[in-house]
Amino acid sequence: MSAITGIGLGLLLLICVSRILNFYDVSLSIYGPYLAFLIFIVILSFILPHDSSLSINNLENTRV
């Protein structure tokens, strides 16, 4: 999945969940912190590197 598709689906999910919760009279003050944390995690997933090839053996070999 490309990044633009992930962003689009994420925004669509975000809008749908907030509309559903508003329909059931759940205020933003209740689910707002969870929503902010979710957005923070998504932003970090785009910023931080995705390479997971770092291991203990690689770290031991790089020591001087």
Tens-level pLDDT at each residue, the chain (64 residues): 677 887 888 889 889 988 999 999 999 899 899 888 988 887 887 788 776 665 666 556 665 5
Q: What is the pLDDT of residue 13?
A: 87
Query: Cα-Cα-Cα-Cα dihedral of 6, 7, 11, 13, to 10°?
Result: 10
Q: What is the pLDDT of residue 23?
A: 94
pTM: 0.59
In sequence order, which residues have a C-beta less than 8 Å from that of residue 44 and are 6 or more positions away?
Answer: none
Instruction: Report the length, in residues, of the chain.
Output: 64
Q: Is residue 62 part of a domain?
A: no
Q: Is residue 58 part of a domain?
A: no
The total of structural domains in the chain comes to 1
Q: What is the pLDDT of residue 14?
A: 87
Q: Is residue 19 part of a domain?
A: yes
Domain that holds residue 22: 3-47
Q: What is the pLDDT of residue 56?
A: 61
